[in-house]
Structure 1
Amino acid sequence: MKPARSNLLLNIMLLAAVAGLSGASLMWGETRIMAVHALADLLAGRHTAGAIIVGQLRLPRMLLAIMVGGTLGLSGAVLQGYLRNPLADPGILGVSGGAALGAVSVFYTGLMQVSVAALPLGGLTGALCAAVVLMGLVGRGGTLVLLLAGAALSSLAAALTALVLNLVPSPYASFEIMHWLMGSLTDRTFAHVWICLPGVVCGTLLMLSAGRVLDALTLGEDVAESLGFRLHGMRGVQTRIVLGAALAVGSCVAVAGAIGFVGLVVPHLLRPLTGYQPSKLLVPSFLGGSLLLLGADMMVRLVTVGTELQLGVLTALVGAPFFLARVIMLKRGVS
């Protein structure tokens, strides 16, 4: 089978799986309902119990799972391709830490009581500030400078977040902050969807536009520049990738908290199916990330231990053993 046709088939299969799991997500919950009938009531404006449950609870949660999972999967694939580092993930740039710091600051200052949008907007502001600082630090530097600057920014954001937690006067506020930092899609509304959507769309388009450059970078930076691709500077691919990841990932962390390992696991699973070509991995990684987070979100509704398990905890429990298994496989391959 030709590579282009096999990649198209992979995308179709993943899209069908996402559509099927999205339908199941609308029906899945404590109250069993017929999603088709509930959606019909919702579109007709009938305020039935099913329409309220789907429209106000399950539909925003399902849409956010698609956007957040897809964004994390795509950004992981883009960053791994650009940095040529299989361990690169969305948190490597410090944007996730900046978003977490912004959201925690909203908790600390009490602005959360002003509006339901204050928390995600605070997280988004923190992510954008982190992106501006990162681009200022990197300037015209290469991938090594980007890695070092991202690591430094992540450490600084983590330290400041710990400081805010230390200074919070109320233990209940500390509990709320820690609960949010573990990542979840519970109780999210369409307000969160609309806050997240612009950043996800703009960031995704910026990252997808780097596909051809990522293919050229597999041959090295010098070859990529000789082919006419501008890597650094304000109009370079590095700026597009950093800004795209900041907008998309920052928007997702702002509304869902920190959800790890999706950006690491998904590209690793799908890379062999795309012929190890970075540009062919981008769309499957978005769909694969959506599929993974939809499935994980359904699992947290199924696994009850007195309270609903946090989504970020479940993805970490799945992701960490996966990478341990990868380490063992690589060790066997070397020995």
Structure 2
Amino acid sequence: MTFAIPRPVLIAALAGLAAVAAMTSLLFGAVDLSLARLIAAATGDGDRVASIILFDLRLPRALLALAVGAMLGLAGAALQGYLRNPLAEPSVLGTSNAAALGAVAALYFGLAQIHPAVLPLLAIGCALVSLGILFLLAGNAESPLTLILAGLALATLAGAGISLALNLSPNPFAAMEIMTWLLGSLENRSFAHLWIALPCIAVGMAMLLWNSRALDALTLGEDAAQALGTDLRRTRFRLLIGTAIGVGGAVAVSGAIGFVGLIVPHLIRPLTDRSPSAILLPSALGGAALLTFADLGVRLIPTTSELNLGVVTAFLGVPVFLLYLMRERRLW
């Protein structure tokens, strides 16, 4: 059932939810900070412990959660609109797996020890290389099915490379480091990671939002979209470039975090008129709020060691799959 909410109201509500998530993330953790203590630390009048907690630990982590969540949510909505596939997400094009392979290579060969920027840069580079291969495999075909098949081939190849790195890992500690990164986490992230990811995410989001009208036209089919003046090749190029750069930059600093791009558009769609353009920006805001709350959860859930963020988002994705399956069965 659809409960369409006016677009300005929906965007304002989701932006407010993301802001609440960010503020909550700053206040709570292993050491809770009162609002007064947080404000004092932010203005430079607080105690040293609160300042360290705020600026060295929580603020960069909260900002990264917002940025990465927004990118993943937007990419999922854009790909679902373009491919007309409700189960599409960034991994469909192989981008996430390729970026993960680049990061795993940096860990496996010890390149990450050279400089902190090597791992994210190699992840982004592999995402862009996968994009070039995707163009070669897809050729001039304009059918979304061709992109899906080529993307699945790339994702499988990258996954095999990751498995090979784990299988040939020189020692258990290297394998553990790779596995920890593959499960996704924002733990111990700093402003240096934010400055690496943010430009990529900004460029990727801008290119995906640029496609909003073209995605609406594609709901009528490729022929109708072309008749309405949509350049399918340029639309595909912007979509792929935006996804590769944005998701590559996000995965480079957060590790592999799945399901956000899948579940957020499904949660947002019933609140809109279901047109692709109406889902894009709300999905970005919803993704930012969801990932920030999920990151707060991994810090607050009492465990002997902090849960990985990718594990939490995977558990969140299962109910959405089940709800979608039940709805499809009712339609049958």
Q: Which residue of 1 aligns with 2:50?
A: 50
Q: Distance in 2 between matches of 1:30 and 1:160?
A: 37
Distance 1:101 1:57 in 2: 27
Instruction: Give, in angstroms, the shift of residue 103 of structure 1.
Output: 0.5
Partners of 1:291 and 1:46 in 2: how far apart?
Answer: 28
Q: Distance in 2 between matches of 1:133 and 1:199?
A: 20
Question: 1:1-335 counterparts in 2 under 5 A?
Answer: 6-35=6-35, 37-44=37-44, 48-142=48-142, 143-232=144-233, 236-334=234-332
Aligned mates of 1:249, 1:114 — CA distance in 2: 24
The residue identity in structure 2 corresponding to 1:260 is G
Letter of the structure 2 residue corresponding to residue 84 of structure 1 = R
Deviation at 1:47, TM superposition (A): 6.7
Between the two structures, name the one with larger relative contact order (CA 8 Å, sep ≥ 6). 2
In 2: Cα distance, 1:36 partner to 1:253 partner: 34
Tell me if the contact between 1:26 and 1:35 (Cα under 8 Å) persists in the aligned partners. Answer: no
CA distance, structure 2, for counterparts of residue 218 and residue 62 of structure 1: 36
Task: Rate the CA distance shift 1:276–1:23 in 2: closer, same or farther, 3 A.
Answer: same
- TM-superposed deviation, 1:4: 10
Query: CA, structure 1 residues 137+301, in 2 after alignment: closer, same or farther (shift >3 Å)?
Result: same
CA RMSD of the aligned region, Å? 1.6
Residue type of the partner of 1:182? L
Q: What CA deviation, in whole Å up to 9, does each residue of 1:238-283 have, x standing for no partner?
A: 0000000001111111100111111111101111111111101100
Provide Cα deviations, 1:278-326, integer angstroms capped at 9, x if missing partner: 1011000000001111111111111132111111001101101321232
Q: Summarize deviations over 1:108-131 as a string: whole Å, max 9, x none.
A: 111121122222222112112111
Do the aligned partners of residues 35 and 192 (structure 1) sit closer, same or farther apart at CA in structure 2, a change above 3 Å counting? Answer: farther
TM-score (norm 1): 0.94
Paired residues in the alignment total 329
Aligned residue type for 1:89: E
Query: Deviation at 1:183?
Result: 0.5
Deviation at 1:163, TM superposition (A): 1.1
Unaligned 5+ segments in structure 2 are none
Task: After superposition, give the CA deviation of every residue in 1:82-136 in whole Å (9 maximum; x if it has no partner).
Answer: 0001010010010111111100101111112112222222211211211122123
Q: Is residue 4–residue 272 contact of structure 2 (8 Å, CA) maintained in 1?
A: no
TM-score normalised per structure 2: 0.95
Give the fraction of aligned pairs with identical amino acids, expressed as a percent.
Answer: 48
Structure 1 spans left out of the alignment, 5+ residues: none
